[in-house]
Structure 1
Amino acid sequence: MDVISTAEVPARERFAFWREVSSKLWVPYDLRCAPDVESHFQARVGIGEFGPVQATVLTTTPHIVQRTERLIRQTDPEVFKVGCLIRGGGIMEQDGRQAGLCAGDLVLFDTSRPFRGWHSPGGSASRLLLLQFPRSLLPLPAGDVRRLSGIPIRGGKGLGALASRFLLELARRMDEFDPAEAARLPMLTLDVLTAALASGLDAESSVPPHTARRALMARIHAFIRDNLGDPDLSPATIAAAHHISPRYLHKLFQAEERTVAGWIRERRLAGCRRDLADPRLATQPINVIAARWGFSSASHFSHAFRGAYGFSPRQFRRSPNDGARGHNSCALIDNDKPRRGEHSRS
């Protein structure tokens, strides 16, 4: 992840420097800042490029961002931006609609039309994830999207909560993805955003079926991760939580050459492995770690762990030089797949 900061720029030049950075990094803006704030202005941005999707994490002191008709006539790259507030406050205004944002909220805006945004109008620094991508990549009718610009999607419930959690996790892990994972991120990110935006419009029927399926799978994966510690987690409970049949749930996983039970088991084993490798948990009994991740039987856990990694849990914990200890499973993308023909219980 590349980082640009005003920290090394003389104080009197920082806001001018940031104006130039903003225009080159995103689209040309008219930036304004109160004189008393400009004298100690600070901004820092981390930049991740994932194919056609640019992800940036911006931390800044209060200022105003404007995209005017004049600037649009000068340069119009025809991109959408989605902001997800990580910390602080913000206001976004477009098409006569104004969105007051709290941490976790999302908002869509179209850089081809005028808008205005207030970073942290309350006075303290704000932190914001910004996604920028070509308009053509959002598979929703243009009229529907225009109705949504400038309207907050609350991050506290429903698909808004799923999208918010996904984006906040993306912001936290931007520098952890290897090239193969980074290549998969744009499609997954846009699917989750499309489902959340369609939900905000009450227009789920306008979402392409393949996008709806991938968004559903993202919700299912998130639900499983949140409930791995429940020993009663099962295909039936997962299906019921998402208002689908167990048969359809199994069909979704089969399309990915996985099994539901196998995916649950892999996530549980990965969690146990991380805890067993953590020196801070060295005195915690193995059976306690296993139970925390949903293994109600110590013997079943030991057998499953050895089958997956070639070590017993005790041997793994005693092997400080084991290369597997360096494994860091990503919470957004899971590449592990069950062995074909494997049907052990979770």
Structure 2
Amino acid sequence: MTVATDFATVRFSTDDLPEEDRIPMWREHYGYTVLGVEIEPAEDALFQSSIVSRHLPGLNLVLGNLSAARVKRTREFLADGNDDVALLVNYTAAAVIAAGEREVVLRERDAVLIRSDEVTTFERFVSGRSLLLRIPRPILSPLVNDIDEVSLSHISGKIDALKLLTSYTVTLLDDNALTAPALARLAVSHIHDLVALALGATRDAAGAAQDGGVRAARLSAAKTYIMQNSGRRDLSVGTVAAHLGVSARYVQMLFEVDGTTFSAFLLNQRLMHAHRMLCAPRSRRRPVSSIAYDVGFGDLSYFNRSFRNFYGLTPRDIREAAAEEPANP
């Protein structure tokens, strides 16, 4: 298990533990302390779990894989007085969650809101992956029309707000994200916006979310798509807009509000990719022109000019400097 300070992530995996220590360690580090639950692993399967979690002001994120098991918040744990609510998003394989006489079957990408002040059971019959977003009730309640009414109601994974929420949340679990407290508070506010929309936001909260969480999540999704596809020479603002299901002008506006432009962000991604390739030992025999074309440039002169403007050195300079650096032991 790795633990970091401040707002950084905490990672846990049973793969690092002897089989006889897996369940006790899971209970100690997550069941009893972070989640406030008991666990009953399936008798006929090896217990496996891997978790990435992050505690932020007003938000606790837990992304985990779990083998077949029953997880239960029992009456004993209710004595802790925790009244948080949590949105549980089921990523893979079916799961069942129940409280009182109510039961919800979650298919892939479906979600449900659960309460920490009632006995609740979550059960997996095969290994699966899920995301938990725990929020203090006093923060979320004013943003939602009727938080008690939507508790343990099935939320379809096809809802746009839920799709934006899950894609945006995963980026917040990156170790390099939210290094400054101000950024962390802003991101948490965006998550609150998106959770409220997925549950049924009040009119005022829905309006504020369009300029807050929705815009931030779409910008994040646009950047992720560009980074994953920057090597495509046909990548354009229209391509990204079609992927997001919005207009090209809206995508341009997202980047403008962020203090840049679509073209500048795409250019920077291609240049940084080229820089990494020039420094990589396995690419040192490749012609600079080949690298330029691979990262998405169609004009070698434009690549060389842009690279020098960005780094203050030519591609050849960068390659020679990297070749002179001693290899890591």
TM-score (norm 1): 0.70
Change (3 A) 1:97 1:141: same
Between the aligned partners of 2:28 and 2:289, the Cα distance in structure 1 is 57
Aligned to 2:70: 64
Aligned to 1:260: 262
Aligned to 2:302: 300
Partner SS for 2:143: coil
Query: Would you say 1:91 and 2:99 are equivalent positions?
Result: no
- Given that residues 88 and 112 in structure 2 are in contact (C-alpha distance below 8 angstroms), is that contact kept between their aligned partners in structure 1? yes
Between the aligned partners of 1:162 and 1:188, the Cα distance in structure 2 is 13
Q: CA deviation at 1:312?
A: 1.5
- Given that residues 92 and 107 in structure 2 are in contact (C-alpha distance below 8 angstroms), is that contact kept between their aligned partners in structure 1? no
Change (3 A) 1:233 1:62: closer
Of the three residues 271, 274, 277, the one matched with 2:273 is 271
- Given that residues 198 and 204 in structure 1 are in contact (C-alpha distance below 8 angstroms), is that contact kept between their aligned partners in structure 2? no
Between the aligned partners of 1:204 and 1:232, the Cα distance in structure 2 is 40
Structure 1 segments unaligned to the other structure (5+ residues) = 327-346
Of the three residues 261, 281, 289, the one matched with 2:283 is 281
Over the matched positions of the two proteins, sequence identity in percent amounts to 21
- Given that residues 105 and 152 in structure 1 are in contact (C-alpha distance below 8 angstroms), is that contact kept between their aligned partners in structure 2? yes
Structure 2 segments unaligned to the other structure (5+ residues) = 4-10
Aligned to 1:179: 179
Find runs of 4+ consecutive structure 1 residues off by over 6 angstroms.
202-205
Between the aligned partners of 2:279 and 2:211, the Cα distance in structure 1 is 38
Aligned to 2:321: 319
Q: CA deviation at 1:84?
A: 4.5
Question: Deviation string for 1:37-82 (max 9, x for gaps)?
Answer: 5xx545454443344433334344322112245643x123232334
Question: Deviation string for 1:80-113 (max 9, x for gaps)?
Answer: 33445566553334572413243x5555433234
Partner SS for 1:179: coil
TM-score (norm 2): 0.73
Between the aligned partners of 2:230 and 2:264, the Cα distance in structure 1 is 13
- Given that residues 148 and 201 in structure 1 are in contact (C-alpha distance below 8 angstroms), is that contact kept between their aligned partners in structure 2? no
Between the aligned partners of 1:90 and 1:254, the Cα distance in structure 2 is 42
- Given that residues 84 and 168 in structure 1 are in contact (C-alpha distance below 8 angstroms), is that contact kept between their aligned partners in structure 2? no
- Given that residues 32 and 63 in structure 1 are in contact (C-alpha distance below 8 angstroms), is that contact kept between their aligned partners in structure 2? yes
Between the aligned partners of 1:303 and 1:146, the Cα distance in structure 2 is 60
1:235-250 pair list within 5 angstroms: 235=237, 238=240, 242-244=245-247, 246=249, 249-250=251-252
- Which residue identity lines up with residue 150 of structure 2 in the other structure? R
Aligned to 2:211: 210
Aligned to 1:118: 123
Aligned to 1:80: 85
Aligned to 2:6: none
Q: CA deviation at 1:304?
A: 0.8
Partner SS for 1:318: helix
- Given that residues 60 and 134 in structure 2 are in contact (C-alpha distance below 8 angstroms), is that contact kept between their aligned partners in structure 1? yes
Between the aligned partners of 1:286 and 1:5, the Cα distance in structure 2 is 42
Q: CA deviation at 1:309?
A: 0.9
Aligned residue pairs, count:
311
